[in-house]
RNA sequence: GGAGAGGUGCCGGAGUGGUCGAACGGGCCUGACUCGAAAUCAGGAGUACUCGCAAGGGUACCGUGGGUUCGAAUCCCACCCUCUCCGCCA
């Protein structure tokens, strides 16, 4: 949600961003509605003022007849207020609905276009040359008894799985490795709840309901399974007014992530790439508005450090305007080289870092108290994947596979993993 | 899960129908005193909405949502949360 008043002030800029996103929104309707809500609110407050004045006159002892007519007038004012209140509530609800259709602004340097129009910012590493035909991660994992999708389907359904043997150790090693990198970088580590209230999801910009939702709801509870720790870490600071000196906040959250993947049938669905549950170490940052772009670069730099240490070839892309998602102002994805993907290997997204500017902060009520002006402003929030324990293992398995079917463990991970190879078996 | 207690401003803590946006402490900010500081004294500090070019008005908010009443922090109902005890449990 963009603030309807800043929307009015920056109307043309917002319109241009919507155009670049390919989103059709009637901005003038939102602005007009905001004005109507303000006018209604003013009228309601005037009735409140009258009511207060009237009540002041009832504080002294009154004759019986006087008391009667006083009470009657009071009831009249109360009814009038109630009527207006209902109108205001209704109008505000509608305004919120309208305002929520307006996505965030888009960074001027982000490429314009759809999913395929990303800009490649840089490459790191070179895809390994195999003198044998490399397998995809699923075949590798099955040969080595690392995952059990059949068992997952048996107890929980399609796209759930068991990790087994070294895959379990690999998951834990990657978690711990990533956390160490983040702690070094000044992040405070968290293990967060795996569930959250719908308001929190909504504040972060996830739609907990509706047919296209990515979110599981828990029956008979007002709770959802989280799709990422971004939800819980952001929610942790909902309604906070933060001291300017306390920023930026760097938070690292380890959680399980649950996604329904509604409407994603058939899309790159093999193996661990797109599953209903996985673990993730997520970065979340809260900054002053002027610091968010630098923080965005910092988050990507950390992601790159992690994947360089894991010896995974990758490229960093600047996601195009049409593929950003409503909260994001700019998004950088890291795509790892996955030798087993497609016919002869392909790039696959393994992390994603977004600068959401004040879009989430506004909905969650995360503010900064400015020292100079003593005023409160909405903070900026950012999030980025340190390591997703579904996709990072794909990249490791596929890139570090050997002719004998074993998997080499990158040096940086060996102390965490405990040995230097998985298999062969 | 059962029983009890409680949720008030930055913190502690009054307040059981109008005079309460809220006593009193503490902390914080400004000024006075001081060479400076401490102590002391005098002032000032919440959030949001709304009207206004502004200065400055107005309105709402005492866990949340309803209700009673001319009038609710105060009474009633529901829910959420916290604490203590019991039970259960990793």
Q: Give me the CA A367–C1' B46 separation in Å, rounded.
A: 14
Cβ A15 to strand B below 7 Å: no
Residue A373 sits in the same domain as residue A321: yes
Residue A133 sits in the same domain as residue A71: no
Among A72-76, A139-143, A400-404, A412-416, the least confident range:
A72-76
CB A251 within 8 A of CB A233: yes
Residue A179, in any domain of the structure: yes
Q: Higher pLDDT residue, A221 or A379?
A: A379
- Residue for token digits 């990198």? A181
User: Would you state the pLDDT for residue A19?
Assistant: 94
| Final residue of a structural domain among A52, A72, A99 | A99
| Final residue of a structural domain among A44, A65, A99 | A99
How confident is the prediction for chain A on average, in pLDDT?
90
Residue A68 sits in the same domain as residue A174: no
Average pLDDT over every residue of A161-182: 96
Cβ A76 to strand B below 7 Å: no
Residue A105, in any domain of the structure: no
CB A413 within 8 A of CB A173: yes
pLDDT score of A103 more than 70: yes
A142 assigned to active site: no
Domain limits at A29?
4-99
Q: A197: which nucleotide lies closest, measuring CA to C1'?
A: B80
pLDDT score of A267 more than 60: no
Residue A216 sits in the same domain as residue A355: yes
Q: Give me the CA A406–C1' B10 separation in Å, rounded.
A: 60
Residue A262, in any domain of the structure: yes
| Six-digit token string for A244 | 């300017």
Q: Give me the CA A91–C1' B7 separation in Å, rounded.
A: 32
A321 assigned to active site: no
pLDDT score of A226 more than 80: yes
| Six-digit token string for A308 | 């360089």
Residue A37 sits in the same domain as residue A125: no
Cβ A88 to strand B below 7 Å: no
- DSSP label at residue A103: P
pLDDT score of A157 more than 80: yes
Q: How far apart are the first and last CA of chain A?
A: 53
pLDDT score of A263 more than 80: no
Cβ A37 to strand B below 7 Å: yes
Residue A129 sits in the same domain as residue A247: yes
> A285-306 burial string, b = 16+ CB within 10 Å, else e?
bbbbeebbbebbebbbebbbeb
**Model confidence over A189-209: pLDDT tens digits?**
999 999 888 888 888 888 777
| Residue whose CA is minimally distant from B71 C1' | A55
Q: A56: which nucleotide lies closest, measuring CA to C1'?
A: B18
Residue A198, in any domain of the structure: yes
pLDDT score of A58 more than 90: no
Q: Give me the CA A369–C1' B10 separation in Å, rounded.
A: 14
User: Would you state the pLDDT for residue A210?
Assistant: 67
Q: Give me the CA A244–C1' B38 separation in Å, rounded.
A: 30
Q: pLDDT category, A311, cuts 50, 70, 90?
A: very high
**Model confidence over A232-253: pLDDT tens digits?**
999 998 888 888 888 899 999 9
Residue A396, in any domain of the structure: yes
Residue A333, in any domain of the structure: yes
Protein-covered nucleotides on strand B (Cβ within 7 A): 18-19, 47-51, 58-60, 69-71
Q: Give me the CA A227–C1' B63 separation in Å, rounded.
A: 29
Q: Give me the CA A242–C1' B24 separation in Å, rounded.
A: 29
Q: Give me the CA A64–C1' B74 separation in Å, rounded.
A: 26
| Residue whose CA is minimally distant from B46 C1' | A241
How many domains does the structure of chain A reveal? Answer: 2
Q: Got the DSSP string for A227-255?
A: S-HHHHHHHHTTT-EEEGGGPPEEEEEEE
User: Would you state the pLDDT for residue A101?
Assistant: 86
Select, from the ranges A81-90, A188-197, A382-391, the one with the highest average predicted confidence (pLDDT): A382-391
Average pLDDT over every residue of A323-348: 93
Residue A232 sits in the same domain as residue A177: yes
Q: Mark residues 114-153 of chain A whose C-beta is closer than 7 A to nucleic acid strand B.
A: none
User: Would you state the pLDDT for residue A320?
Assistant: 96
Residue A92 sits in the same domain as residue A119: no
Q: What pTM did the predictor assign?
A: 0.91
Cβ A47 to strand B below 7 Å: no
pLDDT score of A90 more than 60: yes
Residue A30 sits in the same domain as residue A169: no
Q: Is A102 exposed, middle or buried (0-12, 13-18, 19+ CB in 10 A)?
A: buried
Q: Got the DSSP string for A11-62?
A: HHHHHHHHHHHT----HHHHHHHHHHHHHHHHHHHHHHHHHHHHHHTTSS--
Average pLDDT over every residue of A170-187: 97
User: Would you state the pLDDT for residue A248?
Assistant: 92
Q: What is the CATH number of the domain that holds A304?
A: 3.30.930.10
Q: A73: which nucleotide lies closest, measuring CA to C1'?
A: B70
Cβ A209 to strand B below 7 Å: no
Average pLDDT over every residue of A210-214: 72
Average pLDDT over every residue of A406-414: 96
Cβ A45 to strand B below 7 Å: yes
Residue A151 sits in the same domain as residue A221: yes
Determine which one of A20, A259, A330, A363 is catalytic: A259
User: Would you state the pLDDT for residue A268?
Assistant: 60
Average pLDDT over every residue of A171-188: 96
Cβ A70 to strand B below 7 Å: yes
Q: pLDDT category, A128, cuts 50, 70, 90?
A: confident
Q: How many CB atoms lie within 10 A of CB A53?
A: 10
Residue A188 sits in the same domain as residue A337: yes
Closest CA to A149 of A297, A271, A65, A263: A271
User: Would you state the pLDDT for residue A206?
Assistant: 83
Dihedral angle, C-alpha A33, A35, A41, A43, nearest 10 °: -120
Residue A132 sits in the same domain as residue A23: no
Q: Got the DSSP string for A320-389?
A: -GGGS-TT-SEEEEEEEEETTSTTT-EEEEEEEEEE-TTHHHHHHT-EEE-TTT--EEE-EEEEEEEEET
| Final residue of a structural domain among A48, A71, A99 | A99
Average pLDDT over every residue of A92-104: 87
CB A104 within 8 A of CB A2: yes
User: Would you state the pLDDT for residue A363?
Assistant: 86
User: Would you state the pLDDT for residue A244?
Assistant: 86
Q: What is the CATH number of the domain that holds A59?
A: 1.10.287.40
Average pLDDT over every residue of A355-367: 91
A352 assigned to active site: yes
Dihedral over Cα of A393, A394, A399, A400: its sign? positive
Residue A109, in any domain of the structure: no
Q: pLDDT category, A98, cuts 50, 70, 90?
A: confident
Determine which one of A21, A274, A341, A362 is catalytic: A274
- DSSP label at residue A409: P
How much is the ipTM here? 0.85
Residue A46, in any domain of the structure: yes
Q: pLDDT category, A266, cuts 50, 70, 90?
A: low
């Amino acid at each position: 949600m963009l603030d309807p008043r800043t929307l009015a002030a920056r109307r043309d800029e917002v319109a241009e961003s919507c155009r670049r996103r390919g989103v059709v929104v009637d901005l003038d309707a939102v602005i007009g509605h905001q004005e109507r809500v303000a006018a209604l609110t003013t009228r309601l407050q005037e009735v409140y003022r009258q009511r207060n004045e009237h009540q002041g006159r009832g504080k002294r002892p009154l004759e019986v007849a006087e008391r009667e007519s006083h009470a009657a007038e009071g009831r009249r004012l109360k009814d009038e207020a109630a009527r207006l209140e209902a109108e205001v509530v209704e109008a505000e609800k509608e305004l919120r609905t309208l305002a929520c259709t307006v996505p965030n602004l888009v960074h001027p340097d982000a490429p314009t276009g759809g999913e395929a129009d990303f800009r490649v910012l840089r490459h790191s590493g070179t895809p390994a040359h195999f003198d044998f035909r490399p397998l995809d991660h699923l075949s590798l994992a099955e040969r080595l008894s690392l995952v059990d999708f059949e068992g997952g389907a048996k107890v929980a359904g399609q796209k759930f799985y068991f990790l087994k043997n070294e895959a379990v150790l690999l998951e834990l090693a990657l978690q711990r490795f990533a956390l160490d990198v983040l702690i070094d970088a000044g992040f405070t580590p968290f293990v967060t709840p795996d569930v959250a209230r719908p308001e929190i999801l909504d504040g972060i910009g996830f739609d907990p309901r509706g047919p296209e939702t990515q979110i599981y709801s828990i029956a008979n509870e007002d709770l959802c399974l989280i799709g990422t720790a971004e939800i819980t870490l952001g929610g942790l600071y909902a309604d906070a007014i933060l001291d300017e000196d306390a920023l930026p906040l760097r938070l690292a959250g380890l959680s399980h992530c649950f996604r329904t993947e509604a409407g994603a049938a058939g899309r790159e669905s093999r193996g661990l790439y797109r599953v209903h549950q996985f673990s993730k170490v997520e970065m979340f940052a809260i900054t002053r508005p002027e610091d968010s772009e630098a923080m965005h670069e910092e988050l990507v730099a950390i992601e790159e450090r992690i994947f360089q240490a894991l010896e995974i070839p990758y490229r960093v892309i600047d996601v195009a305007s049409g593929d950003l998602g409503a909260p994001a102002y700019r998004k950088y994805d890291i795509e790892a080289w996955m030798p087993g993907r497609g016919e002869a290997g392909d790039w696959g997204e393994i992390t994603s870092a977004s600068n959401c500017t004040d879009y989430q902060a506004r909905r969650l009520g995360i503010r900064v108290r400015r020292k100079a002006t003593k005023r409160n402003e909405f903070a900026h929030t950012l999030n980025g994947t340190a390591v997703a324990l579904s996709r990072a293992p794909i990249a490791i398995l596929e890139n570090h596979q050997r002719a004998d079917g074993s998997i080499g463990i990158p040096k940086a991970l060996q102390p965490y993993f405990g040995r230097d190879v998985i298999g062969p078996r």
